[in-house]
Amino acid sequence: MIAMTVNEADLAAVEKQLGREPRGVLAVSYRSPDGQPGVVKTAPRLPDGTPFPTLYYLTDPRLTAEASRLEVAHVMKWMEERLAGDASLQADYAAAHEHYLAERNALEDLGTDFSGGGMPERVKCLHVLIAYALAEGPERVRFGTEAVALAADRGGLRGTAIPQDWPTCEELGFDPHQFDELYQEAAK
């Protein structure tokens, strides 16, 4: 049995965010600047025994909504295109994948090399990558860091759901407005 380090107030807040009782929560891995739980660390196996490989789960509805808008705006496609041709991004993503597995396996080894978000070969879920980056910090997974920067800069979440000092899109070297048309469509 894995010990929990989350309190009842946090669990109640996460339940309200999710609209359901949270399962397998071990800790709040990221708390937003305004004090809300934003990411929870979950057990690799739920209380009923079901394997649950998602180590970091995004809970703040502001962040989940923004992750969905970014997905609709084809941010994952843009990331995958870059991943296919950039050895440094491939190395970063592979290292993030290995770290994710090591962290999860330290809790319980599920006997799988599936991590999350499509790592290490695809970009499949910005919710996972945003949760991972927020839980571990902006140096852990480049695509997660970029997705958080987009949420901060495009979604207006800097200083509320995302730290004020999170790297900006400009600091990371890309134009957040390249997704404007699809982003605005997704925001409707």
Question: What is the percentage of the chain residues whose pLDDT exceeds 70?
Answer: 94
Query: Please, which residues have CB within 8 angstroms of residue 92's CB and are 6 or more apart in sequence?
Result: 141, 142
- Listed as own residue / partner, the contacts of 24-29 with beta carbons closer than 8 Å and 24 or more positions apart are 24/52, 26/2, 26/107, 29/56, 29/131, 29/134, 29/135
Q: Is the pLDDT of residue 90 over 90?
A: yes
Q: Report whether 56 contacts 76 (CB < 8 A).
A: no
Q: What is the pLDDT of residue 185?
A: 67
Is this prediction's pTM over 0.85?
Answer: yes
Kindly indicate the confidence band of residue 6, based on its pLDDT and cuts at 50, 70 and 90. Answer: confident
